[in-house]
Structure 1
């Protein structure tokens, strides 16, 4: 069978296999399989065996056909069960009895069924989209609840389910919910169309979020590079601060010295109490004659010239 490319329960020619897990899922698939195979067989399982009034010796072709269909319905149910599940219905005489025995075993009695319905209804009423959950994941959880209710006989109409999903969305989806309510008639809107619109909006939100995150990442890189450059500049400035202080100190000293020198010159020019330094040697202050080279007189008063 593996060579043919399909496993047990995945072929249109063999019934889905039930191994005791997820009875509602198997029940729905089995119903579709029987209806597609022969609707009269499904009627036998749902309503009971076809009645044959004649004794075996007097069976007609029509009687034989009815008995064949009754046996075929039981055979299909047996082929759809694992050994453990077959042991539950092995004592049953009709296909309808087999089907009912499985239903009571896995769905329980009427009271058990009502209790399960109440639990699923409470989950339906409290249903909310979880943080970090995608539209696909949310819709999968929602269909698990609604399918479970449908398997137990509790159904909601399409408009109620559409409004329930819209109410379950978080506050960030409020503009989208408002736009959908204005653009569509919720009573006629299908779940598939709603989920398609929500998924399209989710993709746009993810695209915008990625672009904003890339922009934020670039800004962070620029800020990091700027801070590293500032740190290096601070280090360089820290190393050069002492040199700059020394340079400014020397420059200030030169400016002060220059101003002090200029103020001294102005005082020298404008001072009234300026006196020539006194000469200790008196001879240096006396005039010298250019004729006789002796101090104390000038050339016009030179005795030597007078004698001449």
Structure 2
């Protein structure tokens, strides 16, 4: 681990580790904006050294000598330097090797983005995969709602980081139709009492978490249900066993009665012969 690979703070940028790029990108954007909107602008729109103007006021290909820079030229250069320095302190030496020769923060940003997100073709492929995951994800019976919500929001945030936001109403409807049977009554109440299209995700999440806390965790509920089924099954078995035993005793009694009658009849017949 490198010396500056620590948690971010107001004065320290978030550190980029390969697998956390999507989160780093958002956090770094706001870290740069916190310095000033102009600092972020040089990342978004780029910066290049000012050029000498021709007689008609159009820029030429000749870089203006620094001694001739005006206040705006110097401010733009300083903003570019601030952004570059912030990113340099947020990456490893391996990452630095990719962007060491860059002079524009936008160039640095674009290289890191292509390195970790891929080209536009790769981004489209990732978005298609995320769309498929969003459509197919369901809350499992063994999960609690918090686990399902975390997985779903990871997909939503990954879409956002790739430049495609999923509307709030679509996320709300996805949650409602992805819940297991134990939430069915709650879903019905929500759909009948609220405007689903204007319902906020956070409001829905809070309502469902409260519902789950009230009725217990899925594992506990499942255990209680299994015990109830087991007791019912065992009780039914015992009742059936008792009925079977009573039936066998009754059949044996009938057979014994017939046998005793037969014995009595035979004895009477033998006595008559004597």
TM-score (norm 1): 0.64
User: C-alpha offsets along residues 99-119 of structure 1, whole Å, 9 cap, x if unaligned?
Assistant: 000111111111111111111
Task: Give the structure with higher Rg (CA).
Answer: 1
Paired with 2:77 and 2:120, the residues of 1 have a C-alpha distance of 32
1:141 aligns with 151
The corresponding residue for 1:115 is: 125
> How far 1:55 moved relative to its partner?
2.1
Aligned match of 1:21: 19
Query: Partner residue of 1:45?
Result: 43
Q: Relative to 1, partners in 2 of residues 1:43 and 1:205: Cα closer, same or farther, differing over 3 Å?
A: same
1:36-115 → structure 2 map (5 Å cutoff) = 36-49=34-47, 52-53=50-51, 54-115=64-125
Runs of 5+ unmatched residues, structure 1: 1-5, 228-308
Q: In 2 relative to 1, CA 213–19 (structure 1 residues): closer, same or farther, beyond 3 Å? A: closer
Partner Cα separation in structure 2 for residue 129 and residue 24 of structure 1: 25
1:93 CA displacement:
2.0
Higher relative contact order (CA 8 A, sep 6+): 2
Following TM superposition, by how much is the alpha carbon of 1:62 offset from its aligned partner in structure 2, in angstroms? 3.2
| Conserved? CA contact 1:44–1:50, under 8 Å | no
Alignment correspondent of 1:158:
168
How far residue 180 of structure 1 moved from its aligned partner, in angstroms, is: 0.7
Q: Deviations over 1:215-254 (max 9, x none)?
A: x79xx7xx9xxx9xxxxxxxxxxxxxxxxxxxxxxxxxxx
Give the equivalent residue in structure 2 for 1:129. Answer: 139
Aligned equivalents of 2:177, 2:107: Cα separation in 1: 43
Root-mean-square deviation over aligned CA pairs: 2.7
Answer whether contact 1:135 1:198 (CA < 8 A) is retained.
Answer: yes
Distance 2:89 2:118 in 1: 23
Q: How far off is 1:57 after superposition?
A: 2.4
Q: Offset at 1:59?
A: 2.0
Q: Could you tell me whether the CA contact under 8 Å between 2:7 and 2:15 is conserved in 1? A: yes
Q: For 1:217-296, what aligned pairs fall within 5 Å after superposition?
A: none
- Give me the whole-angstrom Cα distance separating, in 1, the residues matched to 2:114 and 2:76: 27
Number of aligned residue pairs: 215
